[in-house]
Every structure is written in C-alpha cells, then in structure tokens.
Structure 1
Amino acid sequence: MKKIYSIICAIFFCGSILAQSANPQITKKDYSTISKSINSVVSSSVTSAPATVIWSDDCSDINNWSLSNTSIPPLDWSIEMDPAAIPVSVLSPFASTTASNGYLFINSDATGGGDGDGTPVECTATTPMIDLSGWPYVQLTFSHNYRWWQDTRAVRVSGDGGNTWTQFDMTDANGYPNNQNTNNPQDEVINISSIAGDRDSVMVQFYYFDNDYWAWYWAVDDVAISEIPDNAMNITEPVQGGWWVNYLNTGGDGYDYSMKPLSQLTNNPYSFEAVLRNAGIAPQNSFLTAEVTDAGGSVLFNDVSNSLLLDVNYPQDTFAVNSTFSPTALGTYTVNMWGTGDSTSTPMVSLDMTVTENIYARDLNAPDGAWRVGRSCGGQVLGLKYDMYADETLYGLQVHINDQSIPNTPVFVVLYEDNPSGDPLYLTQSDDYYLTSADLGNWITIPFDGGYDLYSGTGYVAAIGGYANPVDTFLVSVSGESQGSCFIQDNGCDIGTGGFGYWYTTSETPMIRMSFDASVLDLNESALNRKINIHPNPTNGVLNIDLDIVSEEFVLIVSDILGKEIYTKIVDGSSFEKIDLSEFDKGIYLLEISNSDFKFSEKIVLE
C-alpha cells in the first residue's frame, strides 16, 4: 500500500477516497470526455499462463442468468448487444473479448433519477449452480468496465447453493479503489478456492446498487471459473518514479513524470518498480527485471530486484530494481519490465519516459477528456502537484486547451505551495491571457512575470484558473490516470458538499506542465517593451492604439466572443493607429496585435 503520508495528505487536503463522508472526489456530470487515445503503457495486469476453464459464460443469453431487482421503477440487468452503448466515451466501445455478441449491462445513468429522490437502481444477476467437484484450486475471472459515482458494485460467490455468500467489493458509495474509470476492459482474477473449491453447488452473483444517486453503469462479460495452474505469475502497477518504494530515499511522492528535466534527475533518478503476484499453486522464488533502451534500441541499463518467495500464503509483493537509472542525454527512453519465478515468468510491460531540458510533465500527451474551469456558476481552479528535487526558476506553465473552449475567454495560471495539512498556499499568478481560436485543441504557454524561484525539497501545485461566465467557456484537457495530488477547487459550482473554495482530488491528470525556459518571457516582455496603449476602453466605437514600433510590419485583428474576425488590418511601421468599430454591436471583443516576433492581446468593450 502507498505510504501513510499520501493518505493523510488526501484527507486534509481534498478528502481521501477512503474518507467516510459525503464529500466526493469529483462530480459525476462536471467532467467532459472525448475519444481516448492509446498511450505507451500496456495492460496494467499481465499474466503468464492460461488456465484450464471449468465453466464459462460469454453473457450472450439472458436466460443463463437469474435476475432480481428492488429498483424503483423496476430495472434489471440486461444483455446489451452494442459495445458502443457504454455512456462514457473514454470507455466505449466496451473492449471485452466477446462484447460484440452481448454483455451484462446495468445503466443507472440512463434512468436520469436525481440524487436521493427515491428512485434507486438495485439488482442482481446470478448463475445457475455450478459443479466444481474434483477441482480444489479454482479462480473466478471476468472482464468489466465502469465509471464510479457513488455506486456499489460487488461479485458474490456461494459454495452451498446460495444459502451463504462471500462478497468481493469492486466499489462502494464511499469511494473507488484507485481511479474513477477502470481500464477497458478491466480483467479481474479472484481466488475462490476456499469458498468454491471441490464444491458441487457453486453460484456466482453480480450485485449493483446506485445508492439512490444518478450514478453511472456497470458492464460485465466473459465470466469464467478455471483451475489455478501450478505455475503462473502476473505483473501489475509498473512505475518508473519510485511510487512504491524509492520515494523514501528521494523525498516527494514518487510520481511517474512523463517528462523530466535533466536538472531534476540528479537527485531523483528513474526507479523501476512493479507488483508481482504468484497466480499459481507452486511456490515461486521471484524477482523483477528492468531494461532501458534508447530511441535506437540500444540497451543502456539492465538490473534486477532482490528475490522473494511468493506462495499461496504470501502470493504478492512490490519489487524494486536494486539500482536507479540516470540518463545524461535528452530524449525518449523505454523501460521494459518483467517478473521471473522458478518455473514461470510474466510477459513484458513497457513504459516510455522523456528527458527534457526544461519541461516538467505528468500527463501522457494524449487528451482523453477535459475539466470545465471557466463556468457559468464560478471560476474553478484546476491543478496538480510537482515535487522539486533541485532549485529551479519557474517561468511559465504550459496548458492544453480543450477544443470546446470559446475564444476571447480570460484565463490565468497560478502557483501554490503544497500544504500537506491544509489548503495549498497561494504564491503568485500571471496576468490574464485571452484565448484565441488558434489556441483551441493546442498547447499554450502563459508566463509568470519575471519568473518565480522554486526550491528543492518543496512541493508546488501548478494550476490554471478561470472566471464565472454566462456559458461554459473554458476547458482544460486531461490525459492519463492520476497517481495522486491532482486537484480542482470549487468556487461556486457545488460539485460536492465541501462548500465554496473546497479542494477536491480528481482521478485524471490535468495537462498542465511546468516550464523552466526563460524564453517564455520573451513574448510578454516584447509586448510590454513596446508600450502598447489602447484607449479609450471601454469605447463607443473609436479606438486609439499607441505603439512604440518602428519599421516593423504587424497585424491588427479584432474578433467577437465566438472567435469570428470582424476587423483585420496590416500596418507597416506605425506608432499610432485609429480604428472605428462603431458599426458593430455592443459587447466584448478581443484585439490582437502581432507579427513574427511578438503577440499582444487585450479585451475591449464596445458600449
């Protein structure tokens, strides 16, 4: 289990996923999803050996299941034939092996019932009795996916024809085990030998209860009971940042940084760790191997962990390779990891990691959703934590703007110091930046005036904020699941019960990066040095523009709130310009002044 520090931090800072309270981590309908891109990380659980299947059901025939519900109005599990019926686009279509010929499906999202309105969805789907006589060592496997929102999911197993049941919880109303979204599919393996081994009246039941919330759904497929093989291993949770073990040696939380500057690697080199599990009966003296290659395929690093005996009494542990990897050149590297036992081994899993000159990142650079920040109900703040392992000067933040954002929206970036015992501590923020049409679906860089000094041994929250707007005008993309310390501050939108200003954690990683590149200031400083003065503003139509620009061609563009250009003029070396907008409707517009060397924008109000 991850260190106590992170649990304490989550409780005080944002409300832990383990907290027995009504404060959720994130809200159900505040998150926008788009088509998911594939990243370089392979399946989080890879098993070495197939098992002998004793019983299976591909969930294509509802008559193979006994259904029961106490839903109001009545609602049962059903067989869904369309893999694309999953109501969350990042998890759709359902990618189970036989999804195309049907799968078990229950959908609270489609009922539209409000929270606590007396319309709960609660139902079970149960197999007939299964004879496992002569099979003492057995495991239950199934594929599923879900998105959590206050709903309970469990699989129950009975060895006596349904008189008694043992329940294995997937989620409950108090939180979810790791991330709000599962993998697609999430493949479960449960050792049920003590319950069902050598029994002749075994039953399996899938239980769903939305706890009277407008919750999400559960899709289940390819349910099987198989013999546990003599020799089998699996590997899960591979990391390169020291999340499980090495954080104790380097400080910080041990996140997997997808991009890491060379300066940060000196005191925090790559540390390779994974969870190995003996999935068979025979004991296995087990160890982890890690091998790093460069872009050309050359092996730069190879080492192993200490060996540990895994058996039926102690089947699983976290393994850390004995040495760390400190590259000296910029570029992208791939680490391959696998587990080895006495009589078996796991398949290989791979992670990519990029060494940069001055960019620090946690996202996977593949947008798979977005958070609304500038909203009608309030201006939210979205951010994530970065640990410092060397002193730096932060010159700006890179942010990926979702393409559903509206041009001319004002945004700002803000820096906090992480505070494990309370809310983050405000340090500084940028001037407002007005989004342009070209920013949508792209990265932008917003500078901190003059830069801000960061210190080794301190954690910082890099964030972006917005303002209340009549419509949702501003979204930030997310990419990849969060290892922790990804936050959203609720400033008036009531996304939970914490109240105004409350900080919640999110299960997705915002695409917000730190930049230690001083050149990001050039854009801002160039504009300031030219002393651009726009007056009067607000105006009744005529704008005077004073520019200290000599013998330089530049472009004046005025756009409306939807990003449509209503005025364009190319100017060749002028220190004063007058434009007349009196023919246009009253409202808010964006004036952009730019050439190949600089770009300046300012909101103007036409009265």
Structure 2
Amino acid sequence: GLTLWSNDFSTPSDWIIGNLASNSDDWVIGTGVPAGSFAINGIASTSAANGFALYDSDLMCSGNQNAYIQIATPINLSTNANVSIEFEQYYRKFQDSTFVEVSNNGGITWTRFRINNVAVNAFSGGSAAVNPDLVNVNISSVAGNQAAVLIRFKYEGGCDYAWMIDDVKITETDDNDLVAKNAWYGFNTIPYSRVPMNQIQAVDFSMEVDNVGALAQSLTQLTVDVNSGTFTATSAAVTVPVGGSDSLFLTTQYTPATVVGAHNITMTVASSATDASPSNNTITPPPFEITADKYAMDDFTLAGNGGGLSPSNGAEFEAGNYFEIVNTTIATGIEVIVGTTTAAGTTIDLVLYEDDGTALIEVDRSAFYTTTLADQGNSVILPLPTTPTLTAGTFYFAAVHAFTNFVYGVSGSSPSNTAPSGAVSLIFYPNMTNPTTNENFFTTATPMVRLIVNSAIGVKELSSNTTFTVFPNPSNGIFNINLDAKSTEVVNLTVNNIVGQTVLTKKVTVSGQTKETISLANFDKGIYFLTIDNNNEKQTVKLIVE
C-alpha cells in the first residue's frame, strides 16, 4: 500500500531509547553488528549503511532485559482507517519475546503485537540465510483514524541473541494481502537435504500464512510444485481472518522416484482474491536431492564454523546429525566438512551411534585422522571399519569426534527441539554417551556431517537362512560382500562377464555375519554378474567396474 511515513534510522534523534529494567541494557542506533559470544550476522537491510537499531542481548547479558526504542514524534493517521507497519529485521530467538507496541493516547497505554513467535534458536525468516526478513503487521485496530500514533519496538529477555530493525514504514493496508512464512518439508518430518536412493520415503509439506490485509481471505490454499509440474498438490481451503494466521498442510504426500537428481520446490499461498503483493506469497526452499549413497542434513554451502570450546573451555566434543534408516542397508563411512579455521595437525575420528530409544549405543568408529591445511573448508571421508548393517526403522547418529579445538563446517538451519521432528543436530561435550552436565546442546546451525551408505544394492535374500549385500557398486574393481546366516552354511560365489564367461569362483563358509572381498581390478571395466548360491537357491546381482 501507499507509504504514509518512513524512517531508516539515519537520524538517531528521531528515536527515543527507553529501559524499563532500570539497567544499561539498551538499544543502540548505528552500524555496529552483534558482538556477543554467540553473535549472529549483522542485518543486510536496504539502508544498513545509514544505520539501524540493534538490541544485542547476548553482548549485554544482564539476565533482566526490558527495553524499547520509540519514535519521538507522533504520526497523524486521522484520515487512514486501515494501516500497517512494515520493517526489515534480522533476529534469532532464545528465551526472549519481541513486540511492536502502538499507542494512540500519548503513551499512556500500549497495544502490543507479538513479533517472531518462532522456535528456540530459530531465525525469524525460517533460516539464517533470510537476511533481512520483511515483517508486515496490520495495526488498524489501534492506529486507524488516529491523530497521534506512537510506535515502539520492545525487547523482553535476559541473555539471548540479538534483534536488528531497519527501514520502518507505515503504509495504507491493502484489502487483500497474504504473507507466506515458515515453509517446511520433511521426510517423516525431517528436512533432509540429501537422501540415498534406498532410503526414500514420502515427503510432507506445510507453510504458515498471515493475513495482513483489511479483508478476510476465503479459499486460502497452499500449492506445492516439485520440478515444474512433476508433482503438484494443494492443501485444504481455509478462511484467514483479518490479522489472523493459519498453518496449511498439503493433503497429498510426494514420493520421489528412485533416480539420482535434484527436486526443486515452489510453495505458494493464495486466496480467492487477487493479492496486492504476490511477491511475498511464494517461498522457494533449498532443493533436496536423491543421491546414490549420501545422507545429509546440511545445505552443502559452507556458511560458517561450528564446534570449538565448550562453555567450560573443554575441547573434546562430538557433533553431528540423526539419520533415519527406512530400509536395511550398510554404512560404509562418514563425511565431515572441515572448518575454515581448523589448524593443521588436529586429530579427529568419525563415529556412528544407534539410538535404541533410551540411549545412544556406539556401532562403529573410524580410524584417527590428522588434518592438514589443505583440509580447511574441504571434505574428509573416513571409512567405517566393520561396515555395520543399519536396521530399518532405526535412527542412527553420525558424528565427528575431536580432542582439540577443532571446528567443522555448518550450513543451513536444522530443526529446533520444538519443531515437528524435534532436534536432529547435536553437539555434546566431551561425547554423546557421557556428556558434561549442561554441556549437551542441540544446534540449528547444521553440522556438515553426512552418513555414507550402500545404496546401489540393498539387502538381498538368498534363502530364509542367509541374506547378503554387495558394496560399493559401482567400484574400481574391489567389491565387499557381507553375508549373514542364521545357521552355518556353505555358499558359492561365481562372477561372469557380459558374454557369460566365468572369471572368478570362490567357496565361502558363512557363520553369522561374514565379510568376503572379491577383486575384479585386473579385468576390463564394464558390467559383470555375481551369482551366489547354496546349491538350492541362488541370487544374481549386476556389478559395475569403473
């Protein structure tokens, strides 16, 4: 709508700074960015270079914070019945509350509008990458047709993160104006960014919508499109009242095809009316990908570093992500992106835990690895020595373990403990199984720690007694065969080339879990066929030598 009043904080005297806690934890106007122990980035607002308002709760950290920044001169809105406040912000929540407060009687009474009702550790725009986040609030109920309107931004907290505000406007409220926010997709509620082919499950979608217009919005629906029409579906239609919000859930799940590739998502909200600002009705989340063998939570773009010392200055820690196994498979390794400030000579190992519902149980651990300068910002993949079998219906936790002041890469925003999935990214000092009191944390800054599984060939059943898996496939000629027999039996391994010639035979006695390795490294690259038989049943799988 038409702008009736605006301010970009370039003139600090336009604002009054107040403190209701009777301490010095105050708002400031300038270009300084958050500087506490858990500082977030500065706001990237339209006019940030001219100055902005900052409440650096983390830096001041008194434990009792109740402060505001208020316009000095009242605004005359006597001829405007429907008005809204718009502003750009950058904010991360902890235990605090944030408000826009409006008065039409000289500050005797204030009507408050809750801003940033998000989960603990979440960013206002749903991700650290949304900077700035544009906020629009309909304040007609208290400011409409009023001759002397005062506006203030109020922070109530103790020792949290920070809130930055810039480019504030009062505008005429359009009749029809929906705003989309908090777009969400999840595999069993978890927003994985990479999913192996043999771990695919149905994806759910949801999004929240605010009605900041002057009229109720009927037939409001969420529409989701994947890969430009490969999948399209909608939510049930609802009516969103003036000043109201609603959560919209897709009525149909999306199950990706078992093909390696990206899935680009577009999520749009619309009502039966023509929206005045359609640009804020659509959110495009980061795409997810189906991979051959990699499971990941992070966005694959290094955005910063995580880890380092604990609050008590302990250096040893384990940090990583949960992964749900929906089809039994083999774990072959774990990948970590080394942080950009990790010193050469830092020792790490990578560890896999199983969550049995009550505790984390160590499944396997890599050999130790010593970092080099060349590792900074790059991938390190370490194999898991026993290539453990991962059981369907079980959650596993893949982590990096460090003894010294190691940092790992972070990318994207993991769910908090109040999200539908619960927290899925953790950092515990000194380890996952015996953390120090008050030094076991969930993190929304996603650790770039990924699980590598055998996705090319899943678990095969030779008989009711024996199952097997083959990995990696394709390979450079070395293939591992994991056989698992309830009772001891002898099986035959036969490899034929594409014209049917036998190139390798081997007899193996299988007792419990048995690992066998075959080598085709001295043969031509191409396709081969492995047959496993116990003289009664047989199974054949295709092998690819690259």
TM-score (norm: length of structure 2): 0.71
- Corresponding residue for 2:131? 184
| Cα deviation digits, residues 9-58 of structure 1 (max 9, x gap) | xxxxxxxxxxxxxxxxxxxxxxxxxxxxxxxxxxxxxxxxxx23333222
| Cα deviation digits, residues 214-263 of structure 1 (max 9, x gap) | x6543211122223211122222223325xxxxxxxxx4x1121111121
User: Residues of 2 paired with 1:409 and 1:72: CA distance?
Assistant: 47
Which structure has more strand as a fraction of its residues? Answer: 2
Q: Aligned AA for 2:231?
A: F
Q: 1:431 aligns with which of 362, 367, 378?
A: 367
1:15-54 superposed matches below 5 A? 51-54=1-4
User: Residues of 2 paired with 1:105 and 1:395: CA distance?
Assistant: 47
User: Residues of 2 paired with 1:309 and 1:170: CA distance?
Assistant: 22
Give the Å deviation of 1:76.
4.7
CA contact 1:236–1:274 (8 Å) conserved in 2 = yes
Gaps of 5+ in 1: 1-50, 243-251, 493-497, 527-607
Give the Å deviation of 1:148.
5.1
User: Residues of 1 paired with 2:195 and 2:105: CA distance?
Assistant: 55
Greater shift after overlay, 142-151 or 302-311? 142-151
CA contact 2:324–2:394 (8 Å) conserved in 1 = yes
Give the Å deviation of 1:396.
1.1
User: Residues of 2 paired with 1:288 and 1:171: CA distance?
Assistant: 22
Say yes or no: does 1:261 pair with 2:211.
Answer: no
Give the Å deviation of 1:454.
1.5
1:532-547 superposed matches below 5 A? none
Give the Å deviation of 1:386.
1.3
Give the Å deviation of 1:413.
1.5
- Corresponding residue for 1:488? 427
User: Residues of 2 paired with 1:134 and 1:162: CA distance?
Assistant: 21
- Corresponding residue for 2:284? 350
- Corresponding residue for 1:277? 210
Gaps of 5+ in 2: 416-422, 455-470, 480-546
Say yes or no: does 1:478 pair with 2:410.
Answer: yes
- Corresponding residue for 2:448? 511
User: Residues of 2 paired with 1:275 and 1:151: CA distance?
Assistant: 22
Q: Aligned AA for 2:234?
A: V
Q: Aligned AA for 1:318?
A: L
Q: 2:327 aligns with which of 379, 390, 399?
A: 390
User: Residues of 2 paired with 1:168 and 1:56: CA distance?
Assistant: 19
Say yes or no: does 1:308 pair with 2:238.
Answer: yes
Q: Aligned AA for 1:289?
A: T
User: Residues of 2 paired with 1:364 and 1:444: CA distance?
Assistant: 17
Give the Å deviation of 1:71.
7.9
- The change in CA–CA distance for 1:52 and 1:140 in structure 2 (over 3 A counts) is same
- Corresponding residue for 1:205? 152
- The change in CA–CA distance for 1:374 and 1:78 in structure 2 (over 3 A counts) is closer
User: Residues of 1 paired with 2:84 and 2:143: CA distance?
Assistant: 9
User: Residues of 2 paired with 1:269 and 1:90: CA distance?
Assistant: 37
Give the RMSD, CA atoms, in angstroms: 3.6
- Corresponding residue for 1:333? 263
| Cα deviation digits, residues 387-408 of structure 1 (max 9, x gap) | 2222221111111011211223
| Cα deviation digits, residues 367-415 of structure 1 (max 9, x gap) | 1121225776231111211122222211111110112112232212222
User: Residues of 1 paired with 2:438 and 2:55: CA distance?
Assistant: 35
Q: 1:440 aligns with which of 356, 370, 376?
A: 376
- Corresponding residue for 2:10? 60
- Corresponding residue for 1:32? none
CA contact 1:145–1:182 (8 Å) conserved in 2 = no
User: Residues of 1 paired with 2:116 and 2:55: CA distance?
Assistant: 15
- The change in CA–CA distance for 1:284 and 1:210 in structure 2 (over 3 A counts) is closer
CA contact 1:90–1:369 (8 Å) conserved in 2 = no
Q: Aligned AA for 1:94?
A: I
| Cα deviation digits, residues 141-189 of structure 1 (max 9, x gap) | 22122355666644322232211123345579x9556679583112222
User: Residues of 2 paired with 1:58 and 1:316: CA distance?
Assistant: 31
- Corresponding residue for 2:351? 414
Give the Å deviation of 1:290.
2.2
Give the Å deviation of 1:93.
5.0
Q: Aligned AA for 2:260?
A: L
Structure with bigger RCO (C-alpha 8 Å, 6+ apart): 1
CA contact 1:257–1:361 (8 Å) conserved in 2 = yes
Q: Aligned AA for 1:125?
A: I
SS at match of 1:200: coil
Which structure has more helix as a fraction of its residues? Answer: 1
- Corresponding residue for 1:377? 314
SS at match of 2:186: coil
CA contact 1:96–1:144 (8 Å) conserved in 2 = yes
CA contact 2:364–2:385 (8 Å) conserved in 1 = no
Give the Å deviation of 1:445.
0.8
- Corresponding residue for 1:286? 220
Q: Aligned AA for 1:371?
A: G
- The change in CA–CA distance for 1:475 and 1:226 in structure 2 (over 3 A counts) is same
User: Residues of 2 paired with 1:311 and 1:168: CA distance?
Assistant: 16
- The change in CA–CA distance for 1:317 and 1:115 in structure 2 (over 3 A counts) is closer
CA contact 2:217–2:273 (8 Å) conserved in 1 = no
- Corresponding residue for 1:97? 46
Say yes or no: does 1:233 pair with 2:184.
Answer: no
- Corresponding residue for 1:322? 252
User: Residues of 2 paired with 1:292 and 1:182: CA distance?
Assistant: 22
Percent identity between the two aligned chains: 26
User: Residues of 2 paired with 1:77 and 1:208: CA distance?
Assistant: 9
User: Residues of 1 paired with 2:11 and 2:209: CA distance?
Assistant: 36
